[in-house]
A and B are shown apart, each in its own frame.
Chain A
Amino acid sequence: MVGTPVLFVAIPLLAAFLIPLFGMIWKESVRILPGIVLAYLLVLAINLMNYVMVNGPIVEVIAGWAPPLGINLIFSPFSGFLVTLMVFLGLIVWIYSYRFKRNVDFEPAKKYFILLMMLITGSVGMVLTGDIFNLFVFIEITSISAYALTAFYTGRNSAEASFKYLMHGSLASAFLLIAIMIIYSQLGTLNMADIGSKMHLMKPAFKISAIILLFTALGIEAEIFPLNGWAPDAYAEAPGPVGAAFAGIVVKAAIYASIRVIYTLFDLSGAYDLLIIIGMITLIIAETAAIRQEKLKRMLAYSSIGQMGLVMVAFGIGTEEGVFAALFLMFNHAIIKSLLFLSGSYLVYNSKDKLIKEVNGIGKFLPITSFLFVLGAFAIVGLPPFAGFWSKLSVLSAAADSNMLLIIALVLIVSIIEIVYYMRVVNRIYFFKKDETVSSQRPTFNALIAMLTLGAIVLIVGFYPDAITGFLHRASADLMDKAGYINDVLTLN
């Protein structure tokens, strides 16, 4: 073992506070330091992941207080997989935005990278923590930096989108805090494993209110249907790489938290239908809303919400296969949607309104960027040789094995809607005449590297899915094994 899980929280947090100090000495270090930190964390995550795959979860005790009392961090195959994914996407976003702001001064670049490090700290902490109040604190770290990143551009309507996000977010945190308080007043503990093992002692009335409050709070963060009002605006008004970070990092952490709550804290084995229904409604509403959008990023945002609905459906199937499919979807969505946001923000770089009709004929002027966008579009609708195909196939086969044929029908119908609105953009990119009033912006070298890396992963996973399915199988087995999770944490001395 080369490091401990606590470094994933400590190092980016420290870096966030050191960036302004280093910036006083050497201005370029503001841009370089986050990259060094993220590269180190990625190496550490891969090493720990290999260790965990062989030796089982690492449970780290903070400040010497053993679990039911103190805070603990858990690096299991499930959480470790998500941490690796998040740190990797953080690195991609850093590469992309290293020179993204070439014309922008030192001051905004400094703030941008500080907030990005805080965002990664919070999201990784949400996944690693084993304490429910600690989860609340990390959600707040993530949200506050996400509000600020949404409002990054002063020129756009970003403050409005950010305020909207803040209103939703602070109601979510209020609900979460009340739920934590109900649990604490009934069980006298804040440790997730301890809560999971004592859950049968809780009275049904308190249990139901706690579940509803927790699910509402985490549903707001995870953009589940009736609670996702903030998402399209926040995605559309935030800078392109931040949209990628939301789709790949923040929402993934929120989904992790809600799944941990449902599977481990409250063992709701009989009530997974709730997840299927909510997921289905989210999927259908979001995809039909996406088809009506005129702005490219809003369309991508609605598509992202729809994918989260599909993830919920896959978790709701409730079998290990279903969990496997859900994790595969989360992985693919993180990679592909980041690729779409990163390339899409170059397609509409100079336009003021970021409309879809402004990408007409841009395929000739930005060949690589357009090609990568189209690759992402094909992959996310699930065309066969690309990564998205395998995840959708695994959702369908998991549903078929559980005899949930209605799910299969709905998912396939929604896929057709998805094809319609993505092909509309692809059609405009290649087969429409270029509008001469729209000037296009060539991507920087760093941005190209970031997008090409993601594109390569889409192809590799598409042609050789076994590259990650081993990790996914271990991760899904780990999530289903509630007793093992509780045992790992509570038997620690």
Chain B
Amino acid sequence: MEDTLFKLLDYGIYGTAVLVILVGLYGALVKRSLLKIVISLSVIDSGINLLLVAIGYLKGGTAPIFSPGYLENPKVMVDPIPQALVLTAIVIGFGVTAVALSLVIRLYRHHHTLHIDEIKNLKW
């Protein structure tokens, strides 16, 4: 019973992560507002981060920190590398979002609109 529950949870995490990525992709491709596009791009990032953490997770694992009581009572640690990757990816996503928002501000000042169909001095 508990095993099936964990398995369901496992699939649930992966499924949610993929769903979040797809929602983000949908938003980035379909939405016409610049701000919504930027939000969608960071939603994709969140989905990927969730997927990364889920891959490194082990059932019943502890945090990958070597603490004093560890040697007497060894437990399985979760994989620390995906967590390090996620930290880096979050910082990078933050940077990209900041640049994107500053560009949106520039575009708004130039065109007085956020609708992507009205900003087409260049060929899209």
Instruction: Decide yes or no whether A383 CB sits under 8 A from chain B.
Output: no
Within 8 A of A (CB), among B68-105: 81-82, 85, 88-89, 92, 95-96, 99-100, 103-104
Select one of B41, B85, B107 contacting A133, CB under 8 A: B85
Interfacial chain B residues near A180, Cβ < 8 Å: 85
Bound Cα distance from A170 to B25, whole angstroms: 11
Evaluate contact between A161 and B122: CB separation under 8 angstroms.
yes
Instruction: Decide yes or no whether A425 CB sits under 8 A from chain B.
Output: no
Evaluate contact between A140 and B41: CB separation under 8 angstroms.
no
Evaluate contact between B92 and A184: CB separation under 8 angstroms.
no
Instruction: Decide yes or no whether A233 CB sits under 8 A from chain B.
Output: yes
| Chain A interface, DSSP helix/strand/loop, else mixed | helix
Within 8 A of B (CB), among A235-271: 236-237
Within 8 A of B (CB), among A141-173: 143-144, 147-148, 151, 154, 157, 159-164, 166-167, 169-171, 173
Q: Count CB-based A-B contacts (< 8 Å).
A: 83
CB distance from A376 to the nearest CB of B (A): 25
Q: Scoring A residues 115 to 157 as 1 if CB is less than 8 Å from chain B, else 0, what string do you get?
A: 0000000000000000001000100100110011001001001
CB distance from A195 to the nearest CB of B (A): 14
Report, as a range, how many residues of chain B touch the other chain.
Answer: 20 to 34
Bound Cα distance from A52 to B9, whole angstroms: 52
Select one of B45, B81, B100 contacting A184, CB under 8 A: B81
Interfacial chain A residues near B124, Cβ < 8 Å: 164
Instruction: Decide yes or no whether A178 CB sits under 8 A from chain B.
Output: yes
Evaluate contact between A157 and B122: CB separation under 8 angstroms.
yes
CB distance from A73 to the nearest CB of B (A): 18
Count of interface residues, chain A, beta-carbon cutoff 8 Å = 34
Bound Cα distance from A327 to B122, whole angstroms: 33
Evaluate contact between B51 and A159: CB separation under 8 angstroms.
no
CB distance from B19 to the nearest CB of A (A): 14
Evaluate contact between A174 and B44: CB separation under 8 angstroms.
yes
Q: List 6 A-B contacts (CB under 8 A).
A: A133-B85, A166-B96, A167-B28, A173-B92, A184-B82, A233-B122
Identify the B interface with A (CB < 8 A): 21, 28, 34, 37, 41, 44-45, 48, 51-52, 55, 81-82, 85, 88-89, 92, 95-96, 99-100, 103-104, 106-107, 110, 119, 121-124
**Top 8 nearest A-B pairs by Cβ distance?**
A159-B106, A157-B121, A185-B55, A140-B92, A163-B103, A233-B122, A170-B41, A174-B44
Identify the A interface with B (CB < 8 A): 133, 137, 140, 143-144, 147-148, 151, 154, 157, 159-164, 166-167, 169-171, 173-174, 177-178, 180-181, 184-185, 190, 232-233, 236-237
